[in-house]
Amino acid sequence: MIEPSNRIKSLGGYAFAEVDKLITKLKNEGVSPIDFGVGDPTTPTPELIRNRAKIAIDQRKASGYPSYIGSQEYREKICEWNKKRFGITLNPETEVASNIGSKEAVFNFPEAVVNPGDYVLIPNPGYPPYARGTEFAEGKVHYLNLLEENNFFPNLEEIPSEIVKKSKIIWSNYPNSPSGKNPTKKFYKELIDFGQDNNIIIASDEAYTELYFEEKPMSILELTKEGVVSVNSLSKRSAMTGWRIGWLAGDENIISIFKKLKTNIDSGTPSFIQDAAIEAYNDETHVEKMRKEYLEKRDLLIDALTSIGLENCSPEATIYIWQKTPKGMDSIEFAKKLLEPQTAIVTTPGEWISTETNGVNPGKNYVRFALVPSIEQTIEAAEKIKKII
């Protein structure tokens, strides 16, 4: 008899796997849906990155296992890019480590610093691996509701003092998925004071810093590296979701612990992919092009949604619209309405990526549009919303 572990038994469905099931059901019924559900860019990885990978495969044909923490050249490029983009000075030897995309780093990070019973403070709604990684490390999750009345920032003063005392990590995610809110210096200063006053590591997920529409988002590392680690990725910036390449940077003490963990988990991202990532960071033109495409798709959908009387929820950054539902209709009801065969528009109900905390599910009256379909499909969806919804 084979049984799953208690950890696996305790897991519910992964929200985006549930979205995939809905898409499969529509396709089996002969309907071709327009999929704004899962945030996986459909834009091809830029040609200059693909070409560099092709050359690197031959150059690395006998390279063996890659570096666990990233090649010297890759880490130096990360430091160079951070200096140019944020004005941050990083030591490639001690303050940077590679990862196999943000998800791997986010999920595994609690294993490095959390003991059974320790708390991790997590934004709600938020990326599911924040909580899942905590639970696998036998830590406890305390959710911080991100509400419109707080501009989608957590209220740090509301965290019970007994939980603060037992907390090891607080996750921050700005530009925020799914609200699209940019960070502010004021919030980051408050967060840093909170972390340092209470000996809590700040883990800042900054995967969307390059996909903004007006003001360039800042990095928390611009203010301090002490007690702080930033997690970043090329998945969204350079449409490299399938390549699995990213990095951590920040406090050298935190990075050294993560490096020790990482050498016991995996063998690193293949060297030829690291070479391609270096090429990606050498070029900003493709990023600017993607920003313009996401902006066009954002504006098309916002125009359609506001034209039928919904609130203007235009994001400042990211590839998401966190759209308020019509009055009297919760997220699941509205998502089902959009899914009807005559529209077949797939979104993610906010309730699926949020957890009820203090009697509130912050996603109950929101649906998430991921701006990943083509511009042509987005135009089609916008017309359907205007004419049918």
- Other C-beta atoms within 10 Å of 305: how many? 23
**What is the Cα–Cα distance from 123 to 202, expressed in whole angstroms?**
12
Question: Is the CB of residue 219 less than 8 Å from the CB of residue 206?
Answer: yes
Does domain 62-281 fall under CATH 3.40.640.10? My reply is yes
CB-based contact 40:372 (threshold 8 Å): yes
Tally Cβ neighbours within 10 Å of residue 188: 22
Given a cut of 90, whether residue 30 has pLDDT beyond it is no
Which residues lie across from 140 on neighbouring strands? 119
The rounded Cα 104 to chain-centroid distance in angstroms is 12
Strand order of the β-sheet with 119-124 is 96-99, 246-250, 228-233, 201-205, 167-173, 119-124, 140-145
Phi-psi region for residue 62, left (φ > 0), alpha (ψ -120 to 50) or beta? alpha
The C-alpha atoms of residue 204 and residue 43 are separated, in whole angstroms, by: 26
pLDDT of amino acid 21: 76
Average pLDDT, the chain: 94
Rounded CA-CA distance 360/366 in Å is 13
Per-residue pLDDT tens digits for 206-227: 999 999 999 999 999 999 999 9
Q: Determine the average pLDDT of the residues in 320-329.
A: 96
Segment (H or E) for 121: strand 119-124
Buried b (16+ CB within 10 A) or exposed e, 8-45: eeeeeeebbeebeebbeebeeeeeebbbbbbbebeeeb
Token pair 């985006």 in the structure block, residue: 16
Banded pLDDT at 13 (limits 50, 70, 90): low
Buried b (16+ CB within 10 A) or exposed e, 142-156: bbbbbeeeeebbbeb
Rounded-to-integer distance, Cα 285 and Cα 243, Å: 20
CA distance 389 to 381: 10
For domain 6-44+285-387, which CATH number applies: 3.40.640.10, 3.90.1150.10, 3.40.50.720, 3.40.30.10?
3.90.1150.10
Give ranges for CATH 3.90.1150.10 in the chain: 6-44+285-387
Query: pLDDT class for 93, splitting at 50, 70, 90?
Result: very high
- Six-digit token pair at 95? 């303050």
Supply the pLDDT for residue 166. 98
Return the percentage of the chain with pLDDT > 90, whole number: 84
Q: Which two tokens stand for residue 42?
A: 């459909």
Q: Are 166 and 134 in contact (CB under 8 A)?
A: no
The pLDDT value given to residue 32: 87
- How many CB atoms lie under 10 A from the CB of residue 287? 18
* Model confidence at 19: pLDDT above 80: no
For the chain, where do the domains classified as CATH 3.40.640.10 start and end?
A: 62-281
Percent of the chain with pLDDT over 70: 98
